[in-house]
Every structure is written in structure tokens, then in C-alpha cells.
Structure 1
């Protein structure tokens, strides 16, 4: 079956939306804003993992939870993890709760991050280890990173680290990769050895509905296959940066001062 694609009017409207909304003044409220406070990449990649992993539920609660975690880690999350132990992490976050994420799960993920950094030098170093030249998307590398981060869970259920192996769209992890790989007025980047062309769209309910209305997918479930289909449609107009429009489009569902219906009407939605 022929792949779905954007028409000329949709592509033009997306470019206009990008120029209008892809700016720092439109970031709040978004957990991405925490990354701007950490110029050191060694800290920023840890902050990004925390902020993206907790990016579910009401946005005000997300910001409050991320802020709580980062305050406890001090000025340098990298230095904090460097001296942390399993027992100290469990003590520090034993009273933490973000919806169905417990302090124990958060502490276990942070322990996984500590061990990955000790083994690979950085979270980015681990991700790159799973990326090979023949890979067309980040799926293999993301699978590798999740597997390494999840080792301390020892097979126990985990909500913060879903794996592409099970068909999950991995919205929060693909959001993390967008932040760490892309570099523009909004995304701070840092993992420069990875090309944005390999990224997948972070598929949440807002992006799924917008993509359906724009005719970018005929699928009924927001899973990994759907994320790949939508990304392929965007890649037709932005082959080197298929998730370029993610931030601008998701402003339509996040900010109260945006009108998604007006934009979708111009796109034939």
C-alpha cells in the first residue's frame, strides 16, 4: 500500500506553524524547560531522562514532580549519581509519588542510569553503542538503552522504561531522544553523533488525533507501528528531520491560548 503523505498545503502550513511556535517563549508549560538550566551535557542528559520519564498526566503535576526530583539531586545530577548508592537512592525518594510511579521505581531507574554511566561513560554513549550504520531508525538503539537502564529492575514491572520490543510507541523516550538529538531554538541537543533523520515522532494522544485528522495514519492504535507510519509521512517533506514539527504541533494540545481546530481546518482536517 502506498505510504500516506502530506499534501502541498499541509506542508506549507506546517512550515508556517513551525516558524510561529517553535520558540522558547512557547515552551512553558513543558518539562523540556528544565533542560535549559543545565549547560553541561553530562547533567542535561540525566535531567532529560527524568523529565521525559515523568511526562505523563496533568502538566502542572509533571512540572511539580520533576522539580521535586531535581531539587533533591542538587546542582549537578551527574555528581549526585556519582556518589549515590542503591540504599541512598531508596532513602532519598522513598516518599516520592507521581501518579502510579513510586519512589522505589524512580530510585531503581536512577540506579540504572548510574550503572550505565559507569559502564559507557554517559547515557548517550550507551545509546550510540546500540546504533549501527544500517539502522534506519532509533528503534534498535533505544531498545539497547532501555535494556541497559532496566537491569536493576531484574525483570520486575516498570512504567518509566517501556521497550520498543513490546510494540510500545515509547512516547516519553522518543521525546527524550528529540530533546537530546535535535538542536534548534527549542531542542537543546547534545548527542551530536546521532542524526535527527533516525528519530521517531513522540506519539501521544494529541499527536495521534492530529495525525488522524491530517490523514497521516489510518491505524486505530497509538503504538509503535503507528508512530513509524506517521514519521514516514513527515519524512516525505523533511527527510533529514522528520520530527521537526512535533513541538509546534503539540502546542496545539497543550497550551490554552492555541486553537487546534483553526489549524486543522487549514490542513483539510
Structure 2
């Protein structure tokens, strides 16, 4: 069986609400409860490390704080921290996103950047820049959390958590939520994590040995040869194949 047929079967099998549950944890499990882009972004940005710890942390957050005063946010989140992020970083993100939502939306910002060159990277840069402008805050943990504006692809971080957020927002199936227009679908870039990277190398979908944004773009181009309109449909299947050590 060729790789495309095998992956198509895997995609069909994985496109089920049973793939994301208390027994099969994924950060999108929390995002699904709210179906809100801002809450989904918070879930995506904290999606690194052990999945049980990710979900436990996300479950501890009161997302109604996104409608509260700065003082209420600071008081409520004063004891919240996650790995590289201290309480001050969690607070900064909540305040910045609250202020963003009073002026615009994440989708409007993304569209503004994307529409220049049909570039999802430029769309992400637009969102990162605006978040930084709303609550300037620079610590190592915060910079890691929201990422820096990306101007190169070789040697640059893969923007995995941002790419995953976009997949959640744009695609609409039993896994992804489709809260935004699907006009960006064909231009999405794979959220390259170590599982997906290693599986893609083993399957010959990827030749670049460096784990960076350029590798994510190369893998996406390969997947476009399987489905030019929706290359991202293979992402969750590739991730689960790696996570479950099926190769």
C-alpha cells in the first residue's frame, strides 16, 4: 500500500470525536468546551510538555477573566504558573488578549497579515505584534509562550503551537472547530512537532533533517501533493502515529 493510501485510511479513522477524550487527551479537548478563538489560542500556546499536565493547567484557568478588570485578572492568576511561564506571564497574556478583543479580533488581525501575500506566517506575525502592543512584557517565559515575529524560515522555530491554533480555527471536522473562514485552508502550514517530524522522516515525506519552520513548509508541500486544498487533514493522523509509536 502506498503512503497516501495508508495516510488517507488513518485520517478517516482518526476523524472521530472519540479521538479526543478524557482517555485520549489533547489540548483541543479544553478548547472544544468553549468554541471561542481567544480561549482556543490560550489552549494552543500552552500546548507543550506532558499532555496530562497541559490539560490540568488549562482546566485550572478561569476564562471568564478575559472580561474582567486588570486588577481582577492579576489577583485571580497570582498563583498560576506552567513550566517556563510564571504567574506574571500568564497574567500578561490574559490582559493583552482582553485588550485585543476590545478593539479587534484575532481573525481580523490574521487576515490583515495574511492578505498581503497569502502568507499564514505574516498573519501570525500580525497577531503576535498586536498582542505585544497591548501589554508590553518581555521575559524568557513569555517570549517562548507567544513566540517572536518570524522573518526567516531556516533555523527558525516551527511555530508549532500557532500553526495548530490555525488548524483548529480554519478546518472543520470531528477534531477541528472551523470557527474562522476556510479560505485560508490550502495555505495552512503543518504544526510540526517532534512526533510528526520523526514519522515524516521515516515515511520519506520529509528530507530536511533540521527541525525548523523550513521543514514544516517542506512537509506541507509534500502533503499538498496528496490534497492541494487541505494538506492539513493529515496532521492529526501523523501526530497520533508518532505518539502511539505505530511505525
Tell me the TM-score normalized by structure 2: 0.89
> Matched residues in 2 for 1:200 and 1:234: separation?
10
Q: Match for residue 138 of structure 1?
A: 120
Match of 2:82 among 83, 86, 98: 98
Q: How does 1:67-106 map to 2 (within 5 A)?
A: 67-69=59-61, 72-73=62-63, 77=64, 80-85=65-70, 87-106=71-90
Q: Answer with 199-208 or 166-175: which moved more.
A: 166-175
Structure 1 position 56 matched with structure 2 position 48: yes
> Matched residues in 2 for 1:36 and 1:249: separation?
21
Match of 1:192 among 173, 181, 184: 181
Detail structure 1 runs of 4+ shifted over 6 Å in the superposition: none
Residue 231 of structure 1 contacts residue 242 of structure 1 at CA under 8 Å; is this kept in 2?
yes
Q: Match for residue 123 of structure 1?
A: 106
Q: Match for residue 235 of structure 1?
A: 224
Q: Match for residue 32 of structure 2?
A: 36
Displacement of 1:259 in angstroms is 4.5
Q: Match for residue 147 of structure 2?
A: 162
Relative to structure 1, the CA distance from residue 180 to residue 228 in structure 2 (aligned partners, 3 Å threshold; closer, same or farther) is: same
Structure 2: stretches of 5+ with no match in the other structure: none
Q: Answer with 232-241 or 217-226: which moved more.
A: 217-226
Residue 92 of structure 2 contacts residue 137 of structure 2 at CA under 8 Å; is this kept in 1?
no
Match of 2:9 among 13, 16, 27: 16
> Matched residues in 2 for 1:26 and 1:226: separation?
27
> Matched residues in 2 for 1:196 and 1:220: separation?
26
> Matched residues in 1 for 2:182 and 2:245: separation?
37
Displacement of 1:154 in angstroms is 4.5
> Matched residues in 2 for 1:193 and 1:252: separation?
26
Structure 1 position 260 matched with structure 2 position 243: no
Displacement of 1:210 in angstroms is 0.8
Q: Match for residue 149 of structure 1?
A: 131
> Matched residues in 1 for 2:245 and 2:214: separation?
28
Tell me the TM-score normalized by structure 1: 0.82
Residue 113 of structure 1 contacts residue 123 of structure 1 at CA under 8 Å; is this kept in 2?
no
> Matched residues in 2 for 1:155 and 1:181: separation?
30
Relative to structure 1, the CA distance from residue 91 to residue 105 in structure 2 (aligned partners, 3 Å threshold; closer, same or farther) is: same
Residue 170 of structure 1 contacts residue 224 of structure 1 at CA under 8 Å; is this kept in 2?
yes
Match of 1:204 among 172, 193, 216: 193
Displacement of 1:171 in angstroms is 0.5
Match of 1:26 among 16, 19, 39: 19
The 3-state SS of whatever aligns with 1:244 is helix
The Cα offsets for residues 80-123 of structure 1, whole Å up to 9 and x where unpaired, read as 323331x3322221211211111111111122211221221x22
Structure 1 position 225 matched with structure 2 position 179: no
Residue 116 of structure 1 contacts residue 126 of structure 1 at CA under 8 Å; is this kept in 2?
no
Match of 1:214 among 187, 190, 203: 203
Match of 1:109 among 87, 93, 111: 93
The Cα offsets for residues 60-87 of structure 1, whole Å up to 9 and x where unpaired, read as 1001001111xx23xxx4xx323331x3
